[in-house]
Amino acid sequence: MQTQIPAWFEIGSAVAMVLILAFDVILAFRRPHIPSTRESALWIGFYVLLALLFAAALLWIGDADHAGEFLAGWLTEYSLSIDNLFVFLLIMARFSVPRPYQQEILMVGILLALILRGIFIVLGAQLIEHFSWIFYLFGLFLLYTAANQAFTNHDDELENESRLIRFMRSRMNVAPHFDGARVRTVVDGKKVFTPALIVFIALGSTDLLFALDSIPAIFGITTNAFLVFAANVFALMGLRQLYFLLGDLVEKLVYLKYGIAAILAFIGVKLFLHALHENELPFLNGGTGFAWAPEIPTIVSLGVIVAAMAVAVAASLLKLRMDARTSAR
């Protein structure tokens, strides 16, 4: 049986995470610039260290199960955030956002992602508490999402968004140029919207789609709302710096989407097996659980997540090296 995480630790950790994010937001808007590779790497290392220290604190305050659930959830959300980052890159390129302004605009996108995920965490926790059969739907949804992830191009997702963007451009007076991250500017003495507003809408709609994917995935790892929230916050920390560190490399990780699809499919199966094990639907097995349906341990989930991402990244880098050798001949 898991030990209870003390309320003072949950409150203190939540306050600390919000303060760290607030500091990152202030830094992004007070010092708009293109972070160097060294600066980005140091910040990412710092945020990863914070996540590992948080896991160690959970191990000390709580137990190994809490620490393992957080690590598995954090790695799952981090992998999905990297996929989210890839779409952010496409959006920035599509709207020709000047690089000096990308840091501020990206920060807004990350904040939108955090707000939307927070809303879905609260809704998901309430659904799970009152309707245990929701795990059946979560499992099937993740299996569908995994197939969609593996066989759908990100360009197709952007094409669906472009209809909304075209509609808004036809209804609003939009300036031809950016004015930093401002959504309103003055052109010829008239107040008009800037392209930044369109970019924010594109980022927001993307965040909504990824929140729909990520929240069922994390609830497949743990149903502890605090750990779900912490995993999402730590996954979004450093995403701005990772954007500038990886740059076009994310696009070259061609097998990354298959690794993410494998993780989503695994968690989908895990959720469905959990739903069968805890079954309360009266028309299935008389409303009792299926004894043959196993509960997959957190340590197994952690191993599958790490292995899937490691194989996907290694295969992508190997292909990149082989392509480079071929082009050099």
Six token digits for residue 244: 């500038």
Confidence at 276, pLDDT banded by 50, 70, 90: confident
Round to whole Å and give the CA distance between 132 and 135.
6
Mean pLDDT taken over the chain: 81
Q: What are 81-112's pLDDT values in tens digits?
A: 877 777 777 778 777 788 777 877 888 888 88
Question: Residue 89: CA atoms inside 13 Å, Cβ hemisphere, count?
Answer: 20
The confidence score (pLDDT) of residue 164 equals 59
% of the chain exceeding 90 in pLDDT: 8
Average pLDDT over residues 259-288: 84
Confidence at 64, pLDDT banded by 50, 70, 90: confident
Stated as kind and residue range, the H or E segment containing 150 is helix 134-151
The pTM for the full model equals 0.79
Six token digits for residue 229: 């929230």
For the chain, the maximum distance between any two Cα atoms, rounded to a whole number of angstroms, is 72
List, in sequence order, every residue forming a beta bridge with 193; answer none if it has no partner: 174, 184
The per-residue b/e assignment along 227-257, b for 16 or more CB within 10 angstroms, e otherwise, is bbbbbbbbbbbbbbbbbbbbeeebeebebbb
Q: What are 283-296's pLDDT values in tens digits?
A: 787 878 888 888 88
The confidence score (pLDDT) of residue 300 equals 87
More confident residue, 81 or 1: 81
> Is the pLDDT assigned to residue 37 strictly greater than 70?
yes
Six token digits for residue 198: 């369109």
At 212, which amino acid appears? L
Round to whole Å and give the CA distance between 42 and 33.
16
Round to whole Å and give the CA distance between 283 and 329.
65
Whether the Cβ atoms of residue 198 and residue 11 lie closer than 8 Å to each other: no
Question: 199 to each of 104, 171, 175, 180, 292, how far by Cα in Å?
Answer: 12, 16, 13, 12, 49
* Residue entry with tokens 């305050």: 61
Round to whole Å and give the CA distance between 57 and 48.
14
Stated as kind and residue range, the H or E segment containing 185 is strand 184-187
Contacts of 212 (CB under 8 A, 6+ apart): 120
Phi, psi of 175 (to 5 degrees): -65, 155
> How buried is 326 (Cβ within 10 angstroms: 0-12 exposed, 13-18 middle, 19+ buried)?
exposed
Q: Where are the domains of the chain?
A: 7-152+212-279+291-328
Whether the Cβ atoms of residue 319 and residue 254 lie closer than 8 Å to each other: yes
Q: What are 148-184's pLDDT values in tens digits?
A: 877 776 555 555 555 656 666 667 777 777 777 777 8
The per-residue b/e assignment along 117-151, b for 16 or more CB within 10 angstroms, e otherwise, is bbebbeebbebeeeeeebbbebbebbbebbeebee
> Is the pLDDT assigned to residue 55 strictly greater than 90?
yes
